[in-house]
Amino acid sequence: MEKQIKIAAKLYQCRDTAKRFYREEFNDKVEPYKECIRKYMAKSGKDELLSVLEICDIDEIKQKGGFAIIMFMAAATELIEPSA
């Protein structure tokens, strides 16, 4: 349970970081990442969390740098629990 709480905290932290960075553009900026996760989920049959963890482990995504991973994590958080 403790591990799940720590993962959830990191997900929220990533979303908060992306929201502070993009401000009112956040929803538009995060949408392509959400769509990528949705497609991966449909293809793999996995949930949001497993999907985003696997996506972020892809070499091409790793090479894009930390902010791409933050955006994927933010998108997963939005899919699990949309912000207002």
What pLDDT digit, counting tens, does each position of 10-67 carry? 899 999 999 999 999 999 999 999 999 999 999 999 999 899 999 999 888 888 888 9
Q: Identify the CA nearest to 52 among candidates 29, 65, 33.
A: 33
Rounded average pLDDT over 60-81: 92
Give the per-residue pLDDT at 79: 95
Q: Identify the CA nearest to 28 among candidates 74, 62, 60, 80.
A: 74
Q: Where are the domains of the chain?
A: 2-80
- The answer, yes or no, to whether residue 4 has pLDDT greater than 80, is no
d(CA 52, CA 13): 15
Q: For tokens 């996995």, name the residue.
A: 46
Give the per-residue pLDDT at 73: 95
Backbone angles phi, psi at 18, to 5 degrees: -65, -40
Give the per-residue pLDDT at 3: 78
